[in-house]
């Protein structure tokens, strides 16, 4: 029985494709791989991105690859008039593309797609057996369909359904030629596996844990069906906006999409707003050729410095002169970046933007300018409007409503319930892990609150065996950070631990930083502090982001009144 991807289901609308799918599955041996409804975007050398699609791709270690186009109902193939049509059960005719020409184009397009992949290149294969055919499951006596580009050996009909193995062998043999494969290279088991990896990849992805925590994190989250569908859809779209609440996997998908684009030979940029998130993504993407990872402002600095070094131009001075009323980060740096791109030219085939809700209006012009092909370049934007704690109003250059991720796969049910009291938007499905209840660390002032936090950290590290780097202390009131840090510094914690900032994160470091700087990251345990001055309405987004950073355990630290206010008075 052949390996068929995907398995046949009710979503396959074509009855002709269902008939052939079942025949191939049951009639071929298990060394055959059959891919159904294969879609891709390829970028041949010197050309822009091209879409491709075939009905079936049959793969075999020895026989090679066979592309099969399927047409249901009756068919008219008029080679004299170049007219091709299908006939439905009512006798109505419908114009179609020549199925043999369609299969031939698909065959060469798939070869282009394979050749641009580094995984295929590493196989070192020469010419492989590669053919195409057309199948008409509702037609008897297909000899009448023979034409100048349609020899009988590559035409299948109703009578071949029951003898599908013989028909597949006949089609492969036709393309191998009378002398067999000759100088052709066998695909081999590794080649078949590589075809599957390139055209029918199955993805799993690990949770985003924090900068420099990837190697210690052993648990991996399998993409939900919805997330997998989003990734599949992104393979066929040029500009897409994806929205979802905290923990729905936006950053995981953004990173995976960036990696895939780079592996497919596209020069790719993965850009976000927060430095901590960029550092983490850069480490996760290390070694992927053709993929750049940066914050937007790191990108600005890189191009501005290049203009100064290579052109002798001070683009920041030019931006300040031309736009005297702007600010450096929101206006002058984006404008200077646009000047630099105008001078050097675009640089990327694909751009993936995470944390897009934090990008200001002036950020989007240079983002678009960096695309090498403005019309066909790939732009994917991921956002959560509930995390707009920087107060941006971004004019994202993508029309239409965003695609939605609607399942939380980060938090426990209890943390989800607490954080999502502060969420506004479509319903997000809660995770399946119940988890422990949210605990309160209550004390009347900062010093005694710091003592409660140090006692908790000591118990977690020394008694419960929790790694210090799995703990984060997030401050809702970033303006008073120095006061909180001084209070913690006066407390004793285990020698294996130390208080640290996000930028200096490492083994044994307990992150103490603001909620705003921690966006996009997560820890197994979060202690949310600085609640005494928090207002559930005014600080809705900060509370939402802060609580949703916790994967397994969440502690609220403040006065009894403040903790109760935050926990019980969420905004609907």
pLDDT tens-digit map of 499-528? 988 877 778 899 999 998 888 888 989 999
The total of structural domains in the chain comes to 3
Lowest mean pLDDT among 82-86, 299-303, 342-346, 436-440: 82-86
User: In terms of domains, do 292 and 384 share one?
Assistant: yes
Using the 8-state DSSP alphabet, how is residue 375 labeled? T
pLDDT score, position 398: 83
- Asked if 367 and 400 sit in the same domain, the reply is yes
Name the residue with tokens 């809702």.
476
Which pLDDT band holds residue 182 (cuts at 50, 70, 90)?
A: low
Question: And the tokens for 398?
Answer: 């993508």
Residue 345's φ and ψ, nearest 5 degrees, are 95, 165
Same domain, 400 and 289: yes
Instruction: Calculate mean pLDDT across residues 418-429.
Output: 87
Reply yes or no on whether the pLDDT at 237 is more than 70: yes
Phi/psi class of residue 160: alpha, beta or left (left: φ > 0; alpha: ψ in -120 to 50)?
alpha
- Please check whether residue 418 lies inside any domain of the structure: no
| Residue that is last in its domain, among 160, 177, 199 | 199
Is 232's pLDDT higher than 80? no
Q: Is the pLDDT of residue 571 over 90?
A: no
pLDDT value for 139: 87
Query: CA–CA distance from 6 to each of 22, 33, 37, 193 (Å)?
Result: 12, 11, 9, 15
Is residue 46 domain-resident?
A: yes
pLDDT of residue 164: 94
> Are 149 and 263 part of one and the same domain?
no
The answer to whether residues 365 and 476 belong to one domain is no
Please tell me whether residues 209 and 167 are part of one structural domain. Answer: no
> For position 232, which CATH number holds?
3.40.50.300
Query: What kind and span of H or E run contains 84?
Result: strand 83-87
The residue out of 172, 199, 226 marking a domain boundary is 199
- Res 141: pLDDT: 83
Q: Are residues 191 and 225 in the same domain?
A: no
Nearest-angstrom CA–CA distance, 557 and 458: 16
Determine the pLDDT at residue 10.
Answer: 53
* pLDDT one-digit tens code per residue, 348-386: 999 999 999 889 989 999 999 999 987 788 999 998 866
Give residue 28's pLDDT.
94
Structure tokens given for 139 = 């037609």
108 is a domain residue: yes
Mean pLDDT calculated for residue range 454-480: 86
Q: Which of 410, 411, 358, 347 is nearest to 381 (CA)?
A: 358
**Cα Rg, the chain, nearest whole Å:** 29
Q: Does residue 223 share a domain with residue 174?
A: no
Residue 276 lies in a domain: yes
Same domain for 396 and 434?
A: no
Q: Per-residue confidence at 179, pLDDT binned at 50, 70, 90?
A: low
- The answer on pLDDT for 222 being more than 60 is no
Query: What is the residue range of 395's domain?
Result: 204-409
Residue 285, φ and ψ in degrees, nearest 5: -95, 10
**164 assigned to some structural domain:** yes
The answer to whether residue 235 is domain-embedded is: yes
Same domain, 212 and 187: no
| pLDDT higher than threshold 60 for residue 204 | no
In this structure, is residue 357 part of a structural domain? yes
419 in a domain, yes or no? no
> pLDDT tens, 89-106?
767 777 777 888 889 999
Range with the lowest mean pLDDT among 176-180, 223-227, 502-506? 223-227
């Amino acid at each position: 029985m052949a390996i068929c991807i995907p398995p046949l289901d009710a979503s396959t609308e074509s009855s002709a494709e269902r008939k052939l799918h079942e025949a191939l599955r049951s009639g071929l041996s298990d060394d055959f791989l059959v891919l159904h409804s294969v879609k891709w975007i390829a970028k041949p050398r010197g050309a822009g991105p091209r879409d491709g699609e075939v009905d079936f791709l049959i793969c075999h270690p020895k026989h090679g690859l066979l592309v099969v186009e399927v047409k249901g109902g009756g068919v008219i193939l008029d080679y004299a008039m170049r007219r091709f049509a299908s006939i439905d059960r009512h006798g109505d005719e419908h114009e179609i593309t020549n199925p043999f020409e369609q299969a031939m184009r698909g065959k060469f397009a798939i070869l282009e797609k394979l050749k641009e992949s580094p995984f295929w290149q590493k196989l070192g294969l020469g010419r492989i057996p590669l053919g195409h055919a057309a199948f008409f499951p509702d037609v008897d006596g297909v000899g009448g369909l023979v034409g100048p580009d349609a020899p009988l050996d590559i035409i299948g009909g109703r009578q071949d359904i029951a003898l599908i193995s013989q028909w597949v062998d006949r089609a492969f043999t036709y393309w191998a030629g009378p002398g067999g494969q000759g100088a052709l290279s066998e695909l081999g088991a590794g080649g078949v596996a590589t075809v599957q990896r390139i055209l029918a990849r199955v993805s799993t992805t690990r949770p985003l844990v924090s900068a420099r925590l990837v190697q210690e994190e052993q648990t991996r989250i399998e993409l939900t069906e919805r997330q997998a569908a989003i990734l599949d859809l992104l393979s066929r779209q040029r500009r897409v906006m994806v929205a979802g609440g905290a923990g729905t996997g936006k950053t995981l998908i953004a990173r995976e999409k960036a990696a895939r684009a780079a592996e497919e030979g596209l020069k790719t940029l993965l850009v976000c707003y927060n430095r901590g998130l960029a550092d983490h993504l850069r480490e996760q993407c290390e070694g992927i050729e053709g993929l750049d990872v940066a914050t937007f402002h790191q990108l600005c600095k890189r191009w501005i410095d290049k203009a100064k070094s290579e052109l002798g131009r001070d683009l920041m001075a030019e931006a300040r002169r031309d736009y005297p009323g702007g600010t450096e980060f929101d206006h002058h740096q984006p404008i200077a970046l646009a000047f630099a791109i105008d001078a050097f030219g675009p640089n990327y085939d694909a751009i993936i933007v995470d944390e897009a809700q934090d990008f200001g209006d002036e950020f989007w012009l240079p983002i678009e300018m960096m695309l090498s092909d403005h019309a066909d370049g790939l732009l994917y934007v991921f956002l959560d409007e509930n995390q707009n704690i920087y107060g941006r109003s971004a004019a994202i250059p993508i029309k239409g409503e965003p695609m939605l991720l609607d399942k939380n796969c980060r938090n426990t049910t209890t943390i989800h319930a607490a954080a999502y009291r502060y969420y506004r938007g479509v319903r997000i499905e809660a995770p399946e892990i119940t988890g422990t209840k949210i605990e309160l660390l209550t004390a009347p002032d900062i010093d005694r609150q710091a003592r409660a936090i140090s006692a908790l950290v000591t118990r977690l590290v020394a008694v419960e065996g929790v790694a210090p780097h799995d703990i984060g202390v997030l401050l809702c009131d970033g303006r008073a950070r120095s006061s909180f840090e001084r209070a913690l510094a006066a407390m004793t914690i285990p020698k294996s631990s130390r208080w640290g900032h996000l930028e200096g994160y490492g083994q044994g470091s307990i992150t103490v930083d603001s909620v705003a700087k921690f966006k996009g990251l997560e820890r197994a345990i979060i202690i949310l502090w600085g609640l005494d001055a928090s207002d559930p309405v005014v600080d809705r987004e900060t509370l939402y982001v802060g609580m949703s950073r916790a994967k397994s355990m969440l502690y609220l630290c403040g006065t009894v009144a403040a903790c109760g206010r935050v926990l019980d008075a969420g905004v609907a």
